[in-house]
Amino acid sequence: MKIEMHVHTSEGSPCAEVDAEHIVKAYSEAGYDGLVITNHFDNDLLKEFGRTDDERIERYLLGYRRAKAVEEKYEIKVMLGVEIRLEPNAEDFLIYGIDEMFLFENPNLCFMSQAEIYELCHLYGAVFYQAHPFREPFVPRNPEFLDGVEYNQRPNSGNNNGLLEEWLKDYPYLKLVSGSDCHSLKQVGFGGIEIQQAIRDIKELAAIMKREQVRLIKWERLWN
């Protein structure tokens, strides 16, 4: 299976240009078998999504749910992920392996420490990666509380993946994931992973990521 691991929709991430159905259609046409919707989950954005925790989570899930509703139409598996920012820092992290109930039960994830959210994810069988750790002004965070890091493939984004590869030499136990960090149709299909077996859901994918290094889809271009 060819799976995109980092996608945004305009319903959930104001910085995204494409709505859920059109991004699903685009990835289907690009030959992907699955994609993970990873809309931004940060305190400033969530405050705009409603007055109560339940209202905010419902609004946050809109992009994923709209994408999920058309997966059969476009014959591509749509899964839920999260790109979260932990207060008060600027860095972003990717969570794979949780479900909607996890978010309703833990609406204040942004205020957890890296260690706390790492342990919580593991209790749920999820994995916790740092997104684009060398994209300025971001810096890599404590590797002790990471399952891995992202080899971000968004074009012209200053990801400095060469620096990431050097840094990883000191942390060989960390795994890698590749994602396009897609916000527009021009950014479709620059990253992702490939796995041999078919999966039913994001929990099965997280289990694979826990036990092995998945094959990365990588584009060797100057923008990385």
% of the chain exceeding 90 in pLDDT: 93
Contacts of 62 (CB under 8 A, 6+ apart): 11, 12
Query: Cα–Cα distance between 68 and 129 in angstroms, integer?
Result: 23
- Taking 50 as the threshold, does the pLDDT of residue 222 lie above it? no
* pLDDT reported for residue 220: 56
* pLDDT reported for residue 219: 73
- Taking 70 as the threshold, does the pLDDT of residue 216 lie above it? yes
- Taking 80 as the threshold, does the pLDDT of residue 48 lie above it? yes
- Taking 70 as the threshold, does the pLDDT of residue 191 lie above it? yes
- Taking 80 as the threshold, does the pLDDT of residue 150 lie above it? yes
**What residues does each domain of the chain span?**
2-216
- Taking 70 as the threshold, does the pLDDT of residue 224 lie above it? no
Which residues, listed in sequence order, are joined to residue 193 by a DSSP beta bridge? 3, 216
Query: Cα–Cα distance between 200 and 117 in angstroms, integer?
Result: 25
Query: How many secondary structure helices (H) and strands (E) does the chain include?
Result: 9, 10
Report which residue type is found at 120. Answer: L
CA neighbor of 7 nearest in space, from 194, 192, 204: 192
Query: What is the CATH number assigned to the segment(s) 2-216?
Result: 3.20.20.140
- Among the residue ranges 27-36, 91-100, 169-178, 211-220, the one predicted with the least confidence is 211-220
- Taking 80 as the threshold, does the pLDDT of residue 223 lie above it? no
* pLDDT reported for residue 158: 85
